[in-house]
Structure 1
Amino acid sequence: MKVRHTSLYKAMVLAFASGTGAMMFTSSAAAEDQQAKDENIEKIAVVGTRAAPRSVTDSPVPLDIISGDEFVRQGSTDLKSLMSSVTPSFNVNDQPINDASTLVRPANLRGLAADHTLVLVNGKRRHRSAVITFLGGGLSDGAQGPDISNIPVSALKQVEVLRDGAAAQYGSDAIAGVINFVLKDSSDGGMLEARYGQYYEGDGDTVQLSGNIGMPLSENGFANFSAEYRTVDDTSRSVQRSDAQGLIDAGNTFVPVPAQIWGTPEIKSDFKFLANFGLDLNDTDEAYMWLNYAKREVDGGFYYRNPTSRGGVNKGIVRDVNGVKMYRPDPKIDPVGAAAWDAANPTILVGSLDGLDQQLNCPIVELMPNGLPDQNALNSLAAANCFAFNNLLPGGFTPRFGGEVTDMAMVMGTRGEFGADWGYDLSASLGYSNVDYSIYNTINPSLGADTPFEFEPGSYTQIEQTYNFDITKGIDISGWDEPVNFAAGLEYRVETFKIEAGDAKSFAIGPLATQGFGVGSNGFPGFKPEDAGTWSRYNWAAYVDIESYLNEDWLMTAALRFEDFSDFGTTLNWKLSTHYQIGETIGLRAAASTGFRAPTVGQSNVRNVTTAFSASGLEDQATLPPTNPISVQKGGEPLEPEESVNLSAGLVAEFDNGIYLTVDYFHIKLKDRISQTSAITLTPGDINKLQALGINDASSFSSVKFFTNDFDTTTQGVDLVANYNTELFGGDTKFAFAYNWTDTKVDSRKQAGTDDEGNPIYNINDAKVEMLEDNLPAHRFTFTTDWRYQNVDLLARVNYYGNYFEDHLDSGGELPIYVGSEITLDVEATYHWTDALSTSIGAQNLLDNTPDVNPWKDEVGSLYPATSPMGINGGFYYVRANYTF
């Protein structure tokens, strides 16, 4: 432990030494004034209303306001993890091995998928990420949501979380709720921050530097700049796989230890920049603009390729049967023969460099009783001009998968007044997301010894353009105490999804392809030129929004929104909400609305083909658009929007003793949810019909996958928030309690067919249903105490995570894990050396709690359940120095 914490100890000493030496700095009255302003402004939100900014207590729907200071006072550096710590209904996990989800982690609000939450920045829609999470832990499978990790935390004034359906106000995706990131807009002052941390295990070292500065933009505006840079070392919470250990015990000295790494990926670099501008044009009008640029490089792990049993690389398809060399029977044609073959002595996959017709002349390499290949037989391959990867990679291999994520956004516009007190807001925005994948320490098996070990499989790009024109006016009506706030607007959006092909060798069909060797970069085959393309759609929308106090205690709101999409047609959604104040203490609120989530252009058009080999020859398993004729042959249809009905009811209470309390119940009925089918086999009859229709490449595919509107769910729950401020032990003390209960049930799912016994086959299996219902804890809460006395701030936060279920490795229920509840404790102590300079020391998960040990850990080496909402890494120490000016 001393060795592990040496670097952390030095960082602590350095932080406190720098703080002691900085006591000469003059105190900053400006910083105190700004803090006072922030404490007031964080109680007011603009999301959820187009009238004047509203107090949280007056909102007819649940609304959380999180100040920028709350994000700073944590050990996490990623915005999604920070959100999860302060909002119990927001969940995100580590995604240790999960394809593209490793690069852009899906997050879930109120138990729904990552793309069921609309993200705004300064009230304007943020574009979605280019990543489609094909492996999203069940709940977010196939989701394509925004990547909020690209927003620097140092740029945030506050975050507003609207926990209610709002599609009638903001359009697609706002089913679970809306998150609005409000940017700093100061014209002077700023901050600098440095932090360092590591896990108790001595890994995951994190370094982050960030800053913010406000500057005047002429005499009538501001220019506010924020930037962050961080690096994060990877972690490992692994044990040696039992199959890898068996090879080592048998004498294979080339097997890595551990063979497979489960942990958070390495972030080699992560840079974020955001600039926010505002300029008063006259007494009533202003121009605004903000720019965001981010780039990060991520490197994560993949599954170990066993050198004796990996199909398409090492697992033999030829052996000696009664003195005759034979190929393994096709299990589709001869399942009994294939089963008998698998039960016989296994062999190593060997290919002839002279071609397929010479493969049967190659030596047979059997596995010996100790499980290792016959070394003498391996040594004889070269003389026969034959090849096996066991001579090139005797210990197997574990691919490393990652990529570079580039994200850019720009919003510009003007707002003000015209005519008889009409308000207007005219804006345009552009969003760009590109994910350039990379994979190394892997092979293209079909190329044999000529394979490279590093590939660029290609990239996805998402581009969005949005244009808005909004008007508002307070209309006086005779006999009414308050004016009726009227708002209306138009929106036009264009979305584009692009696939770029990978390097040629990432998808090349090499000379050994016809002999049972896999095609493409193993683990993530490159996108072929025929997979590449650009697809776009547009939509326009019109909305009307009305808010009015019927009397001084009763607020009513109504919204209606019509949208027309070029790819699936029109949708009309509405919302009604109300807030009624009973005396000075209690307020009742309720809302009802319909909502929708439009299928993304990526989900409608993504194409990816993985090539495999069987005794019948080379065959491709394709993920195709649902409108592709091959998909249509197997039941594919154009995607329709997911549709929801949202109901909520609750109360708000502010008591004279300082206690603030909200309790809200929500009920979300979601129909036609989009998911990806399992692989559906194409029969010879299917292929003949497709070829008759002119689909000439139908014979290339053996099975097909596509996105489909597949199942219905009902999600309900309760959110409880309680705050209390008092004086304790001479210091100002704040208590905050936030609790969430969420329950999801799958009401129905689409049947894809029946098995040989007539039992139904569904596109989503029973295990995925259980993941949808129980992968997130039904119960979560946080209890935070913040005590401030003179120059000292102490913060403690208790986090509770209830029971949950994991279908380990997406095994279809073969490896179920039922995980018990856990409590973690976060603490932080801050000393203010001056009004400008402070240093902090803290621990996230102070007691080093971990999830229940994975009962299937020996299968692939994961010590803990991979989808744990509390993470798998244990305790994390950190230090931080902050200077404001």
Structure 2
Amino acid sequence: MKQNSNTLRRAIRLALASAATTSLLTTTAIAEEADKPKVDEKIEKIAVVGSRAAPRSVGESPVPIDIIGAEDMSKAAGSDMLELLKGSVPSLNVHANPISDAATLVRPANLRGLPADSTLILLNGKRRHRSSVIAFLGGGINDGAQGPDISVIPSIALKQVEVLRDGAAAQYGSDAIAGVMNFVLKDASEGGSFSVRQGEYYEGDGDTTVIEGNVGLPFTDNGFANLSFQYKEADATSRSVQRPDAAAYIGAGVEGVGDPAQIWGAPEIKDDISIFGNVGVDVTDNAHFYMFGNYSERDVKGGFYYRNPQTRPGVYSNDGGETLLVGDLDGVGVGIECPVVNLTDRNVENIPAYQLIAADTELGRNCFAFNEILPGGFTPNFGGNITDTSLTIGVEGEFQDGFLEGGYWDLSGSVGRNESRYFITNTVNASLGADTPMDFSPGKYIQLEKNFNFDVSKGYDFDLAYDVNVAAGLEWHEETFEVLAGDEASFIAGPLTQQGFGIGSNGFPGFKPSAAGEYTRRNYAAYIDIETPFTEDFLMGWALRYEDYDTFGSTTNFKITGQYHVTEDFSVRGSVSTGFRAPTVGQANVSNVQTNLSSGVLVDSALLPPTNPVSEQLGGTELTPEESESFTLGAVYRSGDLFITLDYYNIEVTDRLSQSEKIVLSDADKEALKAAGVPNVDNLAQVSFFTNDFDTTTQGVDLVGNYSMDMLGGYATFSAAYNWNETEVDRFSAITGDFKVSRLENDLPKHRGTLTWSQQWDTFSGFVRMNYYGEYQGVHVDYDATAKTADATITFDAELTYFATDSISLSVGANNIFDQDPEELDFYDATGIPNNNWGGKYYETSPYGINGGFYYVKATYTF
């Protein structure tokens, strides 16, 4: 029997709203933790992502889709959305990157082994804006990634998350090479909940508090207003040992050396507030108004590398610790020449030449060394204030006449803004000498995006199994990246500049007014998407998208999908598609100076736009889009309470965009940098830039299975999910480098799996999850001498909930319940250098973090 797909769409939308109100859509196709009564077991899991026709159940979708319901997202100890999703989607890897510059502020996530900005993020089906944070030190795979900040989305605001594990650029545009995540906000017009969660790591640190609430309200007689908030704070953690050099200074009686001097761990998060609103109202019988958006803000602070009081270039010594860097406050050649201090003792106070300077004697008068004010060295703290706002307004409805009568239309506009204001404390602008402040504001990045969309769809009767759905649309997008200058002290060249003292706030020099600016790019797109049900058992989809950018031109992409029901219980499915990812405006224009370790030596490195003359001299060219070709082939089996999906995928990406290897500067390069106005050139050792330098092939398999049954006097669900993922770099040059290739191919585990048992009784529910992580490349301080193959590991998560009343529930649980440690550092690396020279204890590429077990308690009130 034929049915109009738009009528079906409206019917399913009503079903979804009802399901949200009664908390029925709380299961996930990939790790279904069904702690619900048996009466719910037949509820379908419906997704709107991946199709422009009527929403589909995950079993009827020709492409693999996972649905994680609100109840499932509440069963995790993680303090942000990425942690909640990581336990449900095995092909999603999330890293907490200690001492990683801006990547500390916004954590990157990797779907199917591709960088964070290769996954498109939607909110209620609309494109989500990017973060202003670019991960300059992104742990190899995420170097230079600029994706949306998912962590601002509180789980309590969500009805469900839909994860499309398939390339979808032809349907949604740039960034959907790895897949799409659609975050669907709650839309109930009544009821709500309030919860408080408190937890900490087994080590006794990282104390975390999360307070969150949601309320549904009627908005006139024909609408809803659903509001949510989340407030959280998290203390920093430390998984560090004392650095040998710092221990030696303490042993020599040097004052002011921290213990430990350098911290590896999670950053401190303060005043993290997110407010989300979702409003909808039927303005006529055939038109529906909607509006949703958010305001989010947080402060994040993490550690940097320890500055050794005898070797740090530009502050303490410029010859590797042979002699002390001494400033002549009268100016070179004026007055008495300052003494030369040969660093023959770890405690400079024991060196006679230094004593002349410290005592301000006649020979040391008007001479200055930083040991006088910072005798034990210093460790900067880097952080930022992240503010994220968005608003989407639209109207959707049904055509009442004309050739589109009965069709569906949707007109919307959205604006999203993300601002990152950086700060760095406990550091110096060495060129200012003793007059330097210790706290700096190096500047801001702002990402602003605007979207306008018009979409139509209509079912047509072509005498097939049911209506052929034809969808088409237009999109206009504007993206602006803005750099705002820092305070003057963070970038100024002080009076000691010409004597070799470093310019700008050490560790993260401020953005100079000459580097500030606003960069904008616009693009428009048109698409058509057709779903053809040739028979009741055979469905095919066809999508074509044209997109034109005012910077690098146009691109056209297609997608073909299909599903065939071999039997009532068994079907096969597959897709073939092309895709692209446009370089961001920030990646094309940003410049930055950062501190990193290179072969065990702390150096300053400049990131320059690829079209900067120095970048071009080293091989940089104007950025172009990444292009992809992908295909999937899978099968779906359902029999009673057993549900299994198996999907193979293959993704070829050419001209992949990433940050180049850090290239060592020659003297000629430095002179060119000075001419270009780059600060602190004499202390810069390296330069990097964004580049389209390499090609990759990523392939893998996703296996998902769920089974439900009555057991132990209650209702049980068993869920298993496995992912094999492998990336091979097919082409690269010295700009990318061998070690970057090794990180791309080996840092993430090739095998990952979860096995979950959920159990529901009348007054208790609980779950136990086993997480398997295969071998991965352990890397410390981001250079190849530290790399090794780390062992496969199994961790366990568990939670038990007691329903004290119909409204109150109490939960206790833990992630990594047996406190499984990550791979410990080898004491010596391949070159014989002690790996704990930098205070690390574990390889920070651990796929389950370096902090160990985390336990928590939670109380929830539902009304």
TM-score w.r.t. length of structure 1: 0.88
Residues in 1 aligned to 2:84 and 2:637: alpha-carbon distance in whole angstroms: 27
Is the 1:540–1:564 Cα contact (8 Å) retained in structure 2?
yes
How far is 1:31 from its partner? 11
**8 Å contact from structure 1 (residues 503, 526) kept in 2:** yes
The 1:696/1:142 distance shift into structure 2, 3 A limit, reads closer
Amino acid at match of 1:378: Y
Q: Distance in 1 between matches of 2:425 and 2:680?
A: 28
The residue type equivalent to 1:442 in the other structure is T
Q: Does 1:531 align with 2:536?
A: no
* CA distance in 1: counterparts of 2:731 and 2:772, whole angstroms: 31
Aligned with 1:213 (options 212, 215, 220): 215
In the alignment, structure 1 residue 829 sits paired with structure 2 residue 800: yes
Q: 1:718-773 CA deviation, whole Å, 9 max, x = no partner?
A: 001000000111110011111111000111113xxxxxxxxxxx012211111100
Answer yes or no: is 1:471 the counterpart of 2:480. Answer: no
Partner Cα distance (1:94, 1:625) in 2: 27
Q: For residues 215-234 of structure 1, what are the structure 2 equivalents within 5 Å?
A: 215-234=217-236
**What is the aligned-residue RMSD (CA, Å)?**
2.3
1:503 aligns with 2:487: yes
**What displacement does 1:809 show?**
1.1
The 1:186/1:690 distance shift into structure 2, 3 A limit, reads: closer
Change (3 A) 1:587 1:506: same
- Cross-structure match for 1:347: 323
From 653, 661, 677, give the equivalent of 1:670: 653
Instruction: Confirm or deny that 1:409 pairs with 2:390.
Output: yes
Change (3 A) 1:551 1:428: same
Select 2:123's aligned residue among 105, 117, 121. 121
Query: SS of 1:563's equivalent?
Result: strand
Instruction: Please say if 1:640 is aligned against 2:642.
Output: no
The aligned amino acid for 2:115 is A
SS at match of 1:149: helix
Partner of 1:555: 539
AA in 1 matched with 2:629: V
Deviation per CA, 1:367-410: give whole Å up to 9, x if none.
23557564432221123221111111111111011010000011
Alpha-carbon separation, structure 1, partners of 2:456 and 2:531? 14
Is the 2:195–2:212 Cα contact (8 Å) retained in structure 1? yes
- Hey, what does 1:339 align to over in structure 2? none
- Could you say which residue in structure 1 is the equivalent of 2:23? 35
Is 1:789 matched up with 2:761? yes
Q: Distance in 1 between matches of 2:678 and 2:836?
A: 41
Residue 458 (structure 1) shift = 0.3
Tell me if 1:452 matches 2:437: yes
1:494 to 462, 478, 481: 478
Is 1:709 the counterpart of 2:687? The answer is: no
CA drift of 1:542 comes to: 0.3
Q: 1:430 aligns with which of 405, 410, 415?
A: 415
Instruction: Give 1:601's aligned residue.
Output: 585
Deviation of 1:685 (Å): 7.0
Give how far 1:678 is off. Answer: 3.6
Residue 674 of structure 1 aligns to which amino acid in structure 2? L
> 2:100 maps to what in 1?
98
Alignment correspondent of 2:54:
52
Question: What is the identity, as a one-letter code, of the residue corresponding to 1:264?
Answer: A
Look up the SS of the partner of 1:448 in the other structure.
helix
Superposition pairs of residues 872-883 of structure 1, within 5 angstroms: 872-883=850-861
The answer to whether the 8 Å contact 2:480/2:520 transfers is yes
Report the TM-score, using the length of structure 2 for normalisation.
0.90
The CA distance in 2 between the partners of 1:46 and 1:673, in whole Å, is 30
- The corresponding residue for 1:733 is 716
Q: Answer whether contact 1:42 1:67 (CA < 8 A) is retained.
A: no
Deviations 1:589-634 (A, max 9, x none): 000000000000001111235799xxxxxx9964332223443343
Distance 1:201 1:42, change over 3 A: farther
The answer to whether the 8 A contact 1:221-1:277 is kept is yes
Q: Alpha-carbon deviation of 1:508?
A: 1.0
Q: Which residue is 2:371 aligned to?
A: 390
Counterpart amino acid of 1:400?
A: N
Change beyond 3 A, Cα 1:775–1:277: same
In structure 2, give the amino acid aligned to 1:847.
Answer: F
**Separation (CA, whole Å) in 2 of partners of 1:820 and 1:680:** 32
- Looking at structure 2, the residues matched to 264 and 848 of structure 1 have their Cα atoms a distance apart, in angstroms, of 16
1:321 matched to which residue of 2? none
Aligned identity (percent) is 53
Counterpart of 1:584, as a letter, is E
DSSP 3-state at the match of 2:284: coil
Question: Match for 2:820: what amino acid?
Answer: N
The answer to whether the Cα contact below 8 Å between 1:31 and 1:835 also exists between their aligned partners in 2 is: no
Say which of 512, 518, 524 aligns to 2:502: 518
SS of residue in 1 equivalent to 2:96: coil
Distance 1:31 1:596 in 2: 36
1:884 matches 2:862: yes
Quickly say closer, same or farther: Cα 1:241–1:698, change in 2 above 3 A: closer
Deviations 1:51-73 (A, max 9, x none): 01101001111100100111101
CA distance in 2 between counterparts of 1:821 and 1:876 reads: 20
**One-letter amino acid matched to 1:306:** N
- Deviation per CA, 1:344-378, whole angstroms, max 9, x where unpaired? x8221111111133599211222235575644322
Q: For residue 10 of structure 1, what is the aligned residue in structure 2?
A: none
1:802 pairs with one of 753, 774, 790 = 774
Q: Tell me if structure 2 keeps the 8 A contact 1:800–1:821.
A: yes
1:690 and 1:400 mapped to 2: Cα distance? 28
Deviations 1:265-284 (A, max 9, x none): 01011000000000001222
Deviation at 1:41, TM superposition (A): 6.5
After TM superposition, give the deviation of residue 36 of structure 1 in Å: 3.5
Gaps (5+ residues) in structure 1?
1-29, 318-341, 613-618, 751-761
Check conservation: 1:687, 1:698, Cα contact below 8 A: no
Using the TM superposition, name which of 73-82 and 159-168 deviates more: 73-82
Give the conservation status (yes or no) of the 8 Å contact 2:25–2:45: no
Maintained 8 Å contact 2:116/2:142 = yes
Map of 2:638 onto structure 1? 654
Please, which of 702, 705, 709 is the counterpart of residue 722 of structure 1?
Answer: 705
For 2:156 and 2:373, the matched residues in 1 are separated by 49
Supply the distance in 2 between the matched residues of 1:185 and 1:241 (Cα, whole angstroms): 53
* Structure 1 letter corresponding to 2:233: T
Deviations along 1:214-243, whole A, 9 cap, x unmatched? Answer: 000000000000000011011111100111
Letter in 1 for 2:768: A
In structure 2, the partner of 1:173 is 175
Q: What's the offset of the Cα at 1:448?
A: 0.7
Alpha-carbon spacing, 1:173–1:437, altered in 2? closer, same or farther (3 Å): same
Partners of 2:748 and 2:639 lie apart in 1 by 34
**Residue 246 (structure 1) aligned to one of 245, 248, 252:** 248
The 8 Å contact of residues 609 and 621 in structure 1, kept in 2 or not, is answered as yes
Q: Which residue in the other structure is 1:749 paired with? A: 732
- CA distance change for structure 1 residues 686 and 436 in 2, over 3 Å: closer, same or farther? closer
Whether 1:131 and 2:115 are equivalent positions in the alignment is no
Q: Give CA-to-partner distance per residue, 1:481-529, whole Å, 9 cap, x none.
A: 2111000000000000000000000011111111121111011110111
Aligned counterparts, 1:536-615, within 5 A: 536-609=520-593
Equivalent residues in 2 for 1:845-860, closer than 5 Å:
845-856=816-827, 857-860=835-838
Cα deviation for residue 255 of structure 1 reads 1.2
Letter of the structure 2 residue corresponding to residue 880 of structure 1: K
